[in-house]
Amino acid sequence: MSTSKRERERARLREQKWTRRQADARARRRRVWTIAAAVSGVAVLAGVTALAVSANAPDATYTLPPAAAAEDREWTGELRTSAGDVAFTLDGQAAPQAVANFVSLARAGFFDDTDCHRLTTANIFVLQCGDPTGTGTGGPGYTFGPVENTPEDGFFPAGTIAMARAQSTDSQGSQFFLVYEDSTLPTNTGGYTVFGKITSGLDVVRAVADAGTADGAVDGSPATPVTIEGVETQ
């Protein structure tokens, strides 16, 4: 099978996986709604924190939590992937909205069974994840901004965890990137939110990078597939 055919097949399989996950999520939300209505008679499920998925309607979607949900503190966690585990800390003081968003999605299982879809191996050195469609255009159904805690000089040291975005600084959603080697990103486009750092497992990301991209280009899907199996935060 040619490289282009393999890429199309991988994209088709990712799309199928995303479709199944969306159907499962809708079914779970309907069950939650039924239980909540039966128990309380209102559209609010008791005990759900600010960092949980909104369940205020049968077809509810993911909802951006308030920045205050980051609790102005450091969070710890682990990204479990098919390539190995990556431990991290999140800075809820410097980037409260991004941290609240990440923790909310992680606790909702949003990242589970999603692939890290992009690897760059020249000029900037990052592995990008968090897109449930695996296409680079997916997200949680909302965007937010502006950016927080962006380096003025554009320098992102190895181990940095930052939010990916489109052209607008208000286009952050669920996608994030792991910096595996020191990188300098443009500063004239608004910057990128730094919200965490890798504390162990950087070698896992570097091993993925060493294998390069699927088609040998400097920017593309990683040759070593990386699937997020789960994300823990505390």
HEC letters along 135-200: CCCCCCCCCECCCCCCCCCCEECCCEEEECCCCCCCCECCCEEEECCCEECCCCCCCCCEEEEEEE
Give me 114's structure tokens: 């999603």
- CA dist., res. 176 & res. 118, Å (int): 10
Four-residue CA torsion sign, 186, 187, 191, 192: positive
Mean pLDDT of the chain: 83
Residue 131 has pLDDT above 70, yes or no: yes
131 residue type, one letter: D
Q: Does the pLDDT of residue 39 top 80, yes or no?
A: no
State the residue for tokens 């999520």.
Answer: 25
Q: Is the pLDDT of residue 94 over 90?
A: yes
Determine the pLDDT at residue 52: 27
Alpha helices in the chain (DSSP H): 3-40, 96-107, 202-210
Q: Which of 174, 171, 134 is nearest to 19 (CA)?
A: 134
pLDDT band, residue 149 (cuts 50/70/90):
very high
- How far apart are the C-alpha atoms of 174 and 106, rounded to whole Å? 10
Nearest Cα neighbor of 59 from 27, 37, 91 is 27
Question: pTM for the full model?
Answer: 0.77
pLDDT digit string (tens) for 41-89? 322 222 222 222 222 333 337 999 999 999 999 999 999 999 999 999 9
